[in-house]
Amino acid sequence: MAAEDVAHPGVAGDDGPQWAQAYWLLEPGRGEIRAEPLAPPHAGEVLVRTLYSGISRGTESLIFRGEVPTSEYPTMRAPFQAGDFPGPVKYGYCNVGRVEEGPEDLRGRLVFCLYPHQTWYRVPLGVPCLLPEGVPPGRAVLAANLETAINGLWDAAPRIGDRIAVIGAGVLGALTAWLAGRIPGCQVELIDINPRRAGLAAALGVGFALPEAATPEADRVIHASGSPAGLALGLGLAGFEATLVELSWYGTREVALPLGQAFHQRRLTLRSSQVGSVASAQRARWDHCRRLALALSLLGDPVLDILITGEDAFAELPRVQARLAQDPGDALMHRIRYD
């Protein structure tokens, strides 16, 4: 059912809205907006009206194209996913809204939630994370990506003064470079095949290089390009006993690596990082809620608006998902507006 086929996406009754609209991927390459009933209200829940959601382009494009390996169906589930891969599935985790029903101290408050693209939803108390003062809701769609960047840097464990190479100037790579650039004394270089990303790096306060001009002998390399060539480049840039942290996820693609060159002689460490688990060094004291709250607290810097490169109305979401999966161009975070 298309969005325009539902006249009132949140038709209200005595207990609040009875219906919502949600984006579903019906099968790889084909999505639509469906009307679905909202569950009745229960004690200990809040009702959220969505203001914005963000398309996590790397992951959602893989899902749109049907490139999630069967073995990873359980681990790739989003917190409030409905359906199963490859489809029909309701997937997403960058949702910003306003609490319309719930405890008095929460009503009217802006929140972030790891919820799919949907106009209204009910979730248990404690699930939505309050937006700090000074963080506009339109920027808060970056929270999930920033949380991943935080976890990746925890896994990389950079030290003051390190030379840090970040490969891939997408949203995740850019946020990782921005965070690393705030560590005193660190020399951070954002590396990408697109020369137009140089302006992005400058705005974020870090260096920039094309792959052929990247600085070698890095103390920490963080790879986020989603390309096997980028990962191979990272191995070549890593200095003696350096650590390379892999943030990219390849879905069903196999990746060949040049491990027979200087990999052993340089005693390199290749480490995976994934946001589903809190980094080992922090896990005893941090949980997912604390980590997400940290990400939201760091979104007060207006320079991060440069990472939001497009916006469309919710009704356009099926067409937007198809376009971004096939030809993203220079797109970074694409924001969806709920009118």
pLDDT in tens, 144-172: 999 999 999 999 999 999 999 999 999 99
Structure tokens at 225: 């390009």
Q: Which helix (H) or strand (E) holds 289?
A: helix 288-297
How would residue 4 be classed by pLDDT, with cut points 50, 70 and 90? very low
Assess whether 135 and 153 both reside in one domain: no
**Measuring CA to CA, which residue among 68, 77, 81, 142 is closest to residue 115?**
81
Looking up residue 102, the CATH number of its domain turns out to be 3.90.180.10
Q: State residue 146's pLDDT score.
A: 98
Q: State residue 14's pLDDT score.
A: 52
User: In the predicted model, what is the mean pLDDT of residues 115-137?
Assistant: 97
User: In the predicted model, what is the mean pLDDT of residues 113-132?
Assistant: 97
Provide, rounded to the nearest whole percent, the portion of the chain with pLDDT above 90.
Answer: 86
Q: State residue 15's pLDDT score.
A: 61
Structure tokens at 290: 């604390």
**Measuring CA to CA, which residue among 159, 156, 155, 175 is closest to residue 279?**
155
How far is the C-alpha of 28 from the C-alpha of 62, rounded, in Å? 9
Q: Which of 3-12, 16-25, 239-248, 288-297 has the lowest mean pLDDT?
A: 3-12
Q: Is pLDDT above 70 for 132?
A: yes
**Which residue has better confidence, 58 or 129?**
129
Q: Which of 18-22, 39-43, 207-211 has the lowest mean pLDDT?
A: 39-43
**Measuring CA to CA, which residue among 19, 24, 25 is closest to residue 6?**
19
How would residue 249 be classed by pLDDT, with cut points 50, 70 and 90? confident
How far is the C-alpha of 268 from the C-alpha of 253, rounded, in Å? 24
How would residue 224 be classed by pLDDT, with cut points 50, 70 and 90? very high
Q: State residue 8's pLDDT score.
A: 42
pLDDT in tens, 94-114: 999 999 999 999 999 999 999
43 DSSP 8-state letter: T
How far is the C-alpha of 254 from the C-alpha of 228, rounded, in Å? 9
| Number of structural domains the chain divides into | 2
Let me know: does 153 contact 180? Beta carbons within 8 Å.
Answer: yes
Q: State residue 211's pLDDT score.
A: 98
Q: State residue 5's pLDDT score.
A: 39
pLDDT mean across residues, the chain: 93
Q: Is pLDDT above 70 for 213?
A: yes
Phi/psi of residue 111, each to 5°? -140, 155
Distance from first CA to last CA of the chain, Å, rounded? 18
Q: Is pLDDT above 70 for 10?
A: no
Give 265: exposed, middle or buried? Use CB within 10 Å, 0-12, 13-18, 19+: exposed
Assess whether 153 and 129 both reside in one domain: no
**Residue 82: inside a domain:** yes
Phi/psi of residue 170, each to 5°? -80, -170
State the virtual CA torsion across 208, 213, 219, 221 in degrees, nearest 10.
70
**Residue 232: inside a domain:** yes
**Measuring CA to CA, which residue among 46, 49, 51, 52 is closest to residue 10?**
49
Structure tokens at 42: 């229960």
Q: Is pLDDT above 70 for 6?
A: no
From 236, 257, 272, the end of a domain falls on: 272
**Residue 285: inside a domain:** no
User: In the predicted model, what is the mean pLDDT of residues 110-121?
Assistant: 98
How far is the C-alpha of 57 from the C-alpha of 61, rounded, in Å? 6
Looking up residue 214, the CATH number of its domain turns out to be 3.40.50.720
How far is the C-alpha of 6 from the C-alpha of 294, rounded, in Å? 38
User: In the predicted model, what is the mean pLDDT of residues 243-266?
Assistant: 90
Let me know: does 310 contact 334? Beta carbons within 8 Å.
Answer: yes
Assess whether 51 and 127 both reside in one domain: yes
pLDDT in tens, 35-49: 999 989 999 999 999
Region of 52 on the Ramachandran plot (φ > 0 left; ψ -120 to 50 alpha; else beta): beta
| DSSP class per residue in 257-288 | --TTSSTTTTT-EEEE--TTS--TTTTTT--H
Q: Which helix (H) or strand (E) holds 245?
A: strand 238-246
Residues of the domain holding 177: 148-272
**Residue 289: inside a domain:** no
Assess whether 30 and 111 both reside in one domain: yes
From 254, 272, 290, the end of a domain falls on: 272
CA angle 64, 251, 113 (to 5 degrees): 60
| DSSP class per residue in 74-115 | TTT--TT-EE-TTSSEE----EEEEEEES-TTTTT-EEEE--
Q: State residue 2's pLDDT score.
A: 42
Pairing of strands 187-191, 207-209: parallel
Q: Is pLDDT above 70 for 129?
A: yes
**Residue 51: inside a domain:** yes
Q: State residue 57's pLDDT score.
A: 80
Provide, rounded to the nearest whole percent, the portion of the chain with pLDDT above 70.
Answer: 96
Assess whether 250 and 163 both reside in one domain: yes
User: In the predicted model, what is the mean pLDDT of residues 122-151?
Assistant: 97
